[in-house]
Structure 1
């Protein structure tokens, strides 16, 4: 029978079995196992046609009934798939409430339904947009279990991808890399949502960059850079440009970083990816800041700040832009203005619970307080930054914060001083061993 090994055919056979009140074990006998019945219902392509025909006989149905039912099932599946696409599109453009509203009607979708995993995945995606990390994590773990039956949908990879994003924003950078690797491993090349592999790889570069594992980050960047023209999603391509600029800056390849950044902006100009345009200007501003070309840094960062008004999603990178702008003002001698800008960055970081971006704002606010001779306040900011850098396992920032606090022993009690000094010596020894 034409089309027996399809998702819709499996759904028909599953429905017939359910309507008859039969379990997989009730259907199985010496000629067909429960696992084979399950594979047929899931549309697994390698099942022998003879087994499918035998299952039809076991269910007491025939080809004409299947053809009749298939027409209705196909129509319903197509309608739900279109609904899912619309829901994801609403989520992507920031209309989260509308997406959640449309998802409600699929809240009780049977776990055996071929699109159950997709529905739960979309719920997780919407919850991430709302910053509801715990609920999103639960939904995505559920979607992984449900979608395991339908690997070609690549929902498992998509779910791991978003779990990596959650881990990133909740200071679990090593976990972010771990689940992202699981997503890469689970990816089916011939399946749907082919763009998710590029997103997973680019996200992994982001996490490596944050952990300052620059060698690994650059190696992975160069690996995907050779194939960048094949990246279909403009958002992902521009993110790759931004990451390469950041890594080149950290490796002191400033001229090349600016060149890559400008190339990225030329590409970005043909899109409406305002968040990525902001990030590219932010990255270029950071390069000029490191070169101490403060006027150029100011131009780049101010443009990034103006673009922010066009970004509809929860804009975490803007915390970083404000922080860099505050640093630039500090270096220009506008200390009070810098204090005001960094205060705004910290408030936004706290509001969005984006501790991965909040860290730098706290560190530089500590530096500003020192310039203003407010040493007690400086120590308080450094203590918060130290805890975040420990949570994120960013050792070079732990070392910086500890070294700053050691300049003001009078503002630490004896136990704190001893603990921090010991931690600093340990970190410095690690660096000696590494280099």
Structure 2
């Protein structure tokens, strides 16, 4: 029908059917199936025009009546679209309860409505912000199921992005990558949320880096870095800078890491993205720690710790910042100060169940206890760290911690020491450097 988009026409025909209290099955016959009627109402493209005309005839309506309805429905959908945009904006700025309250008025919205998937997605997004993972997954699953109703909104890809984030925060890193890949595959380039593809790619880089799959992560960083000036979202751009600095540090390109980090910090000064600014200062502090430049490392990490006061939300990566502070002050011989930072890192890591970062905090606390001559206490920290590393599938970290554990048992229980030694000690001794410290700093 001229002048009407298929999605718009479908919504009008759905409303006419609903007003007449007709089910899909009431209209379907040998010439038109319930599935075809549903496709027309959902605005699925490529439905034969003859089928649409036949449905209109079955509904007892014509082109003139549909056009009369168009003006009012179009205005209603336009208003609804703006309202949903406002709700998502409330979520983006941290006003989660306000967003949820505004979503409540759509509780009775039909799943056949063209914006139903968006409503489910927004509920899921709000629950992700609150850390209510199970509720979030239920809403997001519904959004994916209904996303065909709003193909160009990129709700399916956005939903997989959220599932990846949930998996990361629940310490399922491989699953986070799988969901993120699904988001990349389902992204519609000509659709809305144009920055979503960059979000997905940068998130994947982060997940790969945490799994120590440095080569894969570096390849993705190099690809997206070529078009970094096209990234309009400051938070996303700073995240990319932080990831590049981290990967350059892990591949021993220290001078380039400092150059890129400094450039990123200059850009960061023009924003109020405090979480990403903290992360970037932390990444720079880590580079200086790797270089054993303790003075500059302290400048960077001290700024990151003080900046945390401006961040009201709990931040997983800050646990890594506290751990690096522990390493810094151990190297400076300020052991009591190191203990305070590591203790704080462990407390926050346990509270947030941030296993990826908790492993490092526990391990370095074990190192500190060894340095203080408390081998029995060190063993407890190492054992907890090994259990978490095993659960997360972080084999490199597990081997690094087993080395420490064997060293500690050498002074406590020779039988256990020999058992550990026979399994891994000689293999790990062949490694030329401490892999765990390299991962952390």
TM range (shorter): over 0.9
Aligned to 2:129: 129
Cα separation, 1, equivalents of 2:83 and 2:287? 44
**1:423 to partner: Cα distance:** 5.7
Aligned to 2:101: 101
Range moving further from structure 2, 423-432 or 161-170? 423-432
Aligned to 2:114: 114
Aligned to 2:161: 161
Task: For structure 1, list consecutive stretches of 5 or more residues without a partner in the other structure.
Answer: none
RMSD (Å) for aligned C-alpha atoms: 2.4
Aligned to 2:209: 209
Q: Secondary structure at the match of 1:22?
A: coil
Q: Secondary structure at the match of 1:407?
A: helix
Q: Structure 1 413/62 Cα, relative in aligned 2: closer, same or farther at 3 Å? A: farther
- Which residues of 2 match residues 43-58 of structure 1 at below 5 A? 43-58=43-58
Cα separation, 2, equivalents of 1:184 and 1:430? 40
Report whether the alignment pairs 1:70 with 2:70: yes
**1:418 to partner: Cα distance:** 7.1
Q: Deviation per CA, 1:153-176: give whole Å up to 9, x if none.
A: 111111110111111111111101
Cα separation, 1, equivalents of 2:427 and 2:87? 48
Aligned to 1:32: 32
Cα separation, 1, equivalents of 2:380 and 2:347? 16
Cα separation, 1, equivalents of 2:65 and 2:273? 50
Q: Structure 1 113/417 Cα, relative in aligned 2: closer, same or farther at 3 Å? A: farther
Counterpart contact for 1:379–1:411, Cα < 8 Å: no
Cα separation, 1, equivalents of 2:167 and 2:77? 33
TM-score by length of 1: 0.93
Cα separation, 2, equivalents of 1:133 and 1:274? 24
Report whether the alignment pairs 1:142 with 2:137: no
Aligned to 1:220: 220
Aligned to 1:363: 363
Aligned to 1:237: 237
Cα separation, 2, equivalents of 1:276 and 1:319? 14
Cα separation, 1, equivalents of 2:423 and 2:9? 62
Counterpart contact for 1:305–1:321, Cα < 8 Å: yes
Cα separation, 2, equivalents of 1:308 and 1:198? 26
Counterpart contact for 1:94–1:312, Cα < 8 Å: no
Q: Structure 1 17/420 Cα, relative in aligned 2: closer, same or farther at 3 Å? A: farther
Aligned to 1:338: 338
TM-score by length of 2: 0.92
Cα separation, 1, equivalents of 2:405 and 2:53? 75
Q: Structure 1 411/175 Cα, relative in aligned 2: closer, same or farther at 3 Å? A: farther
Counterpart contact for 1:257–1:287, Cα < 8 Å: yes
Aligned to 1:258: 258
Q: Secondary structure at the match of 1:150?
A: helix
Q: Structure 1 371/241 Cα, relative in aligned 2: closer, same or farther at 3 Å? A: same
Aligned to 2:81: 81
Task: For structure 2, list consecutive stretches of 5 or more residues without a partner in the other structure.
Answer: 433-441
Q: Secondary structure at the match of 2:11?
A: helix
